[in-house]
Amino acid sequence: MSPALAHVVDITAGLLLLISGAVAIGRQQRGFGAALVATAITWFAGSLWAPLVYLHRGPMIAVLVCARFRRPAPKWFVLIAAAAIDGAFPSLARLGPVTLCLAAAAGCIAMAATRPTLLARIGRIAAWLYASILVVVGILRTFGWIAGAAPGTAYGMVVAAIAAAFALALAQNSVERLVIDLAALPETDSLVESLRRALADPTLKLSIGTDIADDRPGRTTSVLTRQGEIVGALYHQPLLHIDAATIAGVTTIAGLACDAEIKRSLAGESLDAIDRSSRLLADARSRESEALARRVRQGPLVHIDRAIALVGDHQLSGQLAAARREVLDVANGLAQATMTSAHLASALADRTASSPVPVELVVDVAGLTDRAAQTLLLICSEVTTNTVKHASASMISLTLRLSPTHLDVDIVDDGCGGADPRGSGLRGVAERVAALGGHLTIDSPPGLGTRVRITAPRSAVVA
């Protein structure tokens, strides 16, 4: 290619970078805009003075990072600094392996996971383009195959294409860009940022709900409605520079977003109310059961003990003792509803001690709520009972552990396997696990035993 064409490409790439930067700053994307402007300045500096020809590399990597990430992690700033050092020393930047390393950095930026906004998607394409041209240049330099101005001109064309793509993305209709952004950024903070970009007002505020209050003097309040009902308001500068159609589109979308947020909030409140009601009912049942158990121990059991002491007939005493055991079992059953984590281990040990199948028991769950302890006792009792009845097992292992993040219950046997999760027993277990907010997994291959695993978030079972 002729030197004249190379010169035109250089000027075009620099101007497109500068224009993109100005548009980005105008759209309240100051970090991204500043990186584009810095790239344009260093690009022109390299065109005017050869020792600065690679100085744009650091700002160019910054452009790609800012396009891909709304809040870049510290590791990306390290990458930007490394690219800037590379560009500041021409003897280093001309080395083929160094150029290939820079290409790898651009590829990492392209592959990194981020929110799929329009700008982030354009940034991914731009990063791949930049990595590709750097790979070509790096290979040519490594093997000494560069001849003439061709690689430099091709490089300039790629930079110009990247700048043009960013300029087109930034110049896109505000309403279209807002729709794309909101599809990927449903959180309220991101909604406000997207609205600020769409209306080019960094001071914009959003209020969700029916409480509409006047903001500072000189500002405009745009009431947001959905199906005739107020769902929020925007407080912003007078929008004299934006056409009415754009304003209407932005406020309509903001109204939809506010309406969705209100519905999510109401749904969350309803679930919280249901959960509170369930806890109150469970507490009431627990108190009632505890009172009944106390009355049984203090009433009928005392009278039976007195009768045993008074009756001399050995056979009648045995019958009274059997009756006493049955009444005590009833009292213990009622007391299950008052189970606490401190008593869970002993209660499980009592339950499994009389099991015809040996049970290896490990319990480390201090700090559980009473409700969680009661539910776990019932779950473990039900699973071990089913195992004894149906599994033909010679051993049962029952482990309950509470980690900093979750509760883990493991019940394993060496029986015949083939347990049916649709059976009434395991369905009941599944319902109790769901009440804990946990997850039930049943692994029961025929002939290879059964493993029942229950996990639940720590926050759902700890007081």
Same domain, 354 and 323: no
| Average pLDDT of the segment spanning 72-98 | 89
Q: Is the pLDDT of residue 80 over 90?
A: yes
Task: Tell me what pLDDT residue 144 has.
Answer: 76
Rounded Cα distance, 16 and 13, in Å: 5
Any domain includes 76: yes
Helix, coil or strand: residue 35 = helix
Rounded Cα distance, 116 and 176, in Å: 14
Helix, coil or strand: residue 169 = helix
Same domain, 47 and 132: yes
Residue 455: band (very low, low, confident or very high) from pLDDT cuts 50, 70, 90? very high
Domain closes at, from 338, 354, 386: 338
Burial (CB < 10 A; 0-12, 13-18, 19+), residue 198, is: buried
Q: Is the pLDDT of residue 68 over 80?
A: yes
Beta strand ranges found along 227-316 (DSSP E): 229-236
Any domain includes 285: no
Helix, coil or strand: residue 205 = strand
**What are the structure tokens assigned to 176, written together?**
């279209």
Exposed e or buried b for every residue in 82-110, given b needs 16+ CB within 10 A? bbbebbeeeeebeebebbbebbebbbebb
Same domain, 303 and 258: no
Query: What is the count of structural domains for the chain?
Result: 4
Report in angstroms the alpha-carbon separations of 86 from 59, 138, 325.
11, 14, 85
Q: Is the pLDDT of residue 328 over 60?
A: no
Task: Tell me what pLDDT residue 401 has.
Answer: 92
Task: Tell me what pLDDT residue 190 has.
Answer: 63
What pTM was computed for the model?
A: 0.46
Q: Is the pLDDT of residue 42 over 90?
A: yes
Task: Tell me what pLDDT residue 63 has.
Answer: 93
Any domain includes 279: no
Task: Tell me what pLDDT residue 57 has.
Answer: 93
> Measured over all CA atoms, what is the biggest interatomic distance in the chain, rounded to whole angstroms?
124
| Average pLDDT of the segment spanning 110-138 | 84
Task: Tell me what pLDDT residue 128 has.
Answer: 93
Task: Tell me what pLDDT residue 65 has.
Answer: 92
Task: Tell me what pLDDT residue 150 has.
Answer: 41
Task: Tell me what pLDDT residue 289 has.
Answer: 61
Mean pLDDT of the chain: 78
**What are the structure tokens assigned to 154, written together?**
């091709």
Task: Tell me what pLDDT residue 410 has.
Answer: 94
| Average pLDDT of the segment spanning 396-406 | 92
Same domain, 322 and 355: no
List, for residues 226-244, the tens digit of each pLDDT value.
777 888 888 877 765 555 6
Task: Tell me what pLDDT residue 138 has.
Answer: 86
Any domain includes 278: no
Residue 309: band (very low, low, confident or very high) from pLDDT cuts 50, 70, 90? low
Domain closes at, from 137, 172, 207: 172
Q: Which residues contact 269 (CB under 8 A, 6 or more apart)?
A: none
Residue 321: band (very low, low, confident or very high) from pLDDT cuts 50, 70, 90? low
Q: Is the pLDDT of residue 334 over 60?
A: no
In CATH, what number is assigned to the domain containing residue 203? 3.30.450.40
Rounded Cα distance, 390 and 11, in Å: 82
List, for residues 156-212, the tens digit of each pLDDT value.
889 999 988 888 777 654 555 555 555 554 444 467 777 776 666 777 888 887 776
Same domain, 76 and 12: yes
Task: Tell me what pLDDT residue 327 has.
Answer: 61
Same domain, 7 and 120: yes
Task: Tell me what pLDDT residue 151 has.
Answer: 47
Same domain, 10 and 140: yes
Same domain, 114 and 259: no
Highest mean pLDDT among 50-54, 251-255, 333-337, 419-423: 50-54
Contact, 248 vs 242, CB < 8 A? Answer: no
Torsion, Cα 127 129 132 138, to 10 degrees, reads -80
Same domain, 420 and 436: yes
Same domain, 80 and 200: no
Burial (CB < 10 A; 0-12, 13-18, 19+), residue 360, is: exposed
Domain closes at, from 172, 190, 213: 172
Q: Read out DSSP for 319-346?
A: HHHHHHHHHHHHHHHHHGGG--HHHHHH
| Average pLDDT of the segment spanning 114-118 | 67
Rounded Cα distance, 330 and 325, in Å: 9
Any domain includes 289: no
Any domain includes 275: no
Same domain, 126 and 157: yes
Highest mean pLDDT among 47-56, 184-193, 245-254, 300-309: 47-56
Any domain includes 145: yes
Same domain, 443 and 362: yes
| Average pLDDT of the segment spanning 386-393 | 86
Domain span at 106: 3-172
Any domain includes 442: yes
Percent of the chain with pLDDT over 70: 71
In CATH, what number is assigned to the domain containing residue 454? 3.30.565.10
**What are the structure tokens assigned to 144, written together?**
């000494």
